[in-house]
């Protein structure tokens, strides 16, 4: 099988790539190598994502999907509490999106299918198919898929990074985020962000009687309470996130912890940007530079917050990206 764009992984980044590729009239195939259940936890998306949802053609559906559209959040710290507004313009306040990640993925998948994306589920593990230093597609033990552009949206697995022996840079000590959903008799009208010496916690009411919590420890102790699932969110990015015939998007290319508040936004933007390489295959170095600038700017900004009180006893005082994993 040969296509214009071949995508491995059908998360938010991969689906965004598929939608944009089809809108550009490109023959697009998505390989779904994983059968693991999707994440069901909720997140709050910054209002700035609305323009991207319009580009993907799902803005109205996403607004209906959201269980609420908060105009800001409460921030608690040792100094007290304050309400952080997202902002406003002549049309009114900017509103975020409180959504289930699983439902958002389902929405994007339906949009990609409607546009004619081909979805396949390989029976075997897939690997990079390369020739003379360029990626030509993917292969398994039974089949080969050729493409002008191969996009790796496989998340933490980083299939192309693994097969091409690409090296990540690391920008944080080991970090584990925890996610939990539980019953709650005190629904909050707005999300609540709490900071304490051990880390931070983000609480949101997802429906009457239920609450979702995302938290992370900013110390060497990995806190994973009973009833919570943990995930490695240590910072990393791949300088060689694009090259002849390939591009990596989402967590496969660049990851910060959820404290950055922009994981979904980054995934969509990378998915959109990477498709440009289908028409401009020799411009992959520009994609590399774009991701590198983003990683260094956002990494430095978040590290500056973590190096202040109350986390400064544990967090490195100066931020750097290193080819060796960092420690506390």
pTM: 0.92
Running DSSP on this structure, what letter comes out for residue 74?
Answer: E
Token duo for residue 278 = 């289908």
Please report the pLDDT score of residue 247 as a whole number: 97
pLDDT bracket for residue 305 (50, 70, 90): confident
**Average pLDDT value for residue range 178-184:** 83
Measured CA to CA, the distance from residue 52 to residue 71 in angstroms comes to 18
Please report the pLDDT score of residue 123 as a whole number: 84
Provide the CB-side half-sphere exposure for 210 (13 A, CA). 8
Please report the pLDDT score of residue 315 as a whole number: 77
Better-scored residue on pLDDT, 171 or 310: 171
Maximum separation of any 2 CA atoms in the chain, in Å: 61
pLDDT mean across residues, the chain:
89
**Average pLDDT value for residue range 265-281:** 96
- The tens digit of pLDDT for each residue in 211-224 reads 899 998 876 555 44
- The tens digit of pLDDT for each residue in 255-267 reads 999 988 889 999 9
- 217, 269 Cβ separation under 8 angstroms: no
Please report the pLDDT score of residue 223 as a whole number: 47
Give the SS3 label for residue 235: coil
Give domain 2-73+101-172+234-306's CATH superfamily: FAD/NAD(P)-binding domain (3.50.50.60)
């Amino acid at each position: 099988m040969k296509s214009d764009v071949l995508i491995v992984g059908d998360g938010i980044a991969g689906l965004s790539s598929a939608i944009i590729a089809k809108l550009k009239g490109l023959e697009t195939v998505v390989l779904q190598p994983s059968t693991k259940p999707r994440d069901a936890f909720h997140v709050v998306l910054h209002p700035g994502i609305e323009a991207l949802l319009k580009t993907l053609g799902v803005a109205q559906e996403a607004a209906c999907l959201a269980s609420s559209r908060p105009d800001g959040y409460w921030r608690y710290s040792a100094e007290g509490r304050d309400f952080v507004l997202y902002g406003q313009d002549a049309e009114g306040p900017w509103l975020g999106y409180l959504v289930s990640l699983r439902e958002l993925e389902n929405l994007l998948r339906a949009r990609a299918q409607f546009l004619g994306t081909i979805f396949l589920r390989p029976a075997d593990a897939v690997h990079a198919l390369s020739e003379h230093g360029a990626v030509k597609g993917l292969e398994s033990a039974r089949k080969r898929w050729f493409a002008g552009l191969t996009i790796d949206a496989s998340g933490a697995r980083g299939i192309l990074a693994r097969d091409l022996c690409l090296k990540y840079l690391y920008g944080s000590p080991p970090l584990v985020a925890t996610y939990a959903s539980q019953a709650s008799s005190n629904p909050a009208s707005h999300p609540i962000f709490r900071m304490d010496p051990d880390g931070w916690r983000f609480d949101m009411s997802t429906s009457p009687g239920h609450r979702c919590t995302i938290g992370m420890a900013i110390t060497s102790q990995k806190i994973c309470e009973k009833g919570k699932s943990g995930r490695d969110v240590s910072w990393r990015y791949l300088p060689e996130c694009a090259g002849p015939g390939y591009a990596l998007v989402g967590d496969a290319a660049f990851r910060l912890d959820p404290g950055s508040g922009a994981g979904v936004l980054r995934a969509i933007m990378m998915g959109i940007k990477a498709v440009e390489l289908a028409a401009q295959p020799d411009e992959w170095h520009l994609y590399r530079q774009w991701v590198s600038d983003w990683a260094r700017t956002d990494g430095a900004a978040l590290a500056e917050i973590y190096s202040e009180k109350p986390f400064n006893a544990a967090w490195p005082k100066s931020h750097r990206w290193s080819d060796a994993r960092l420690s506390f």
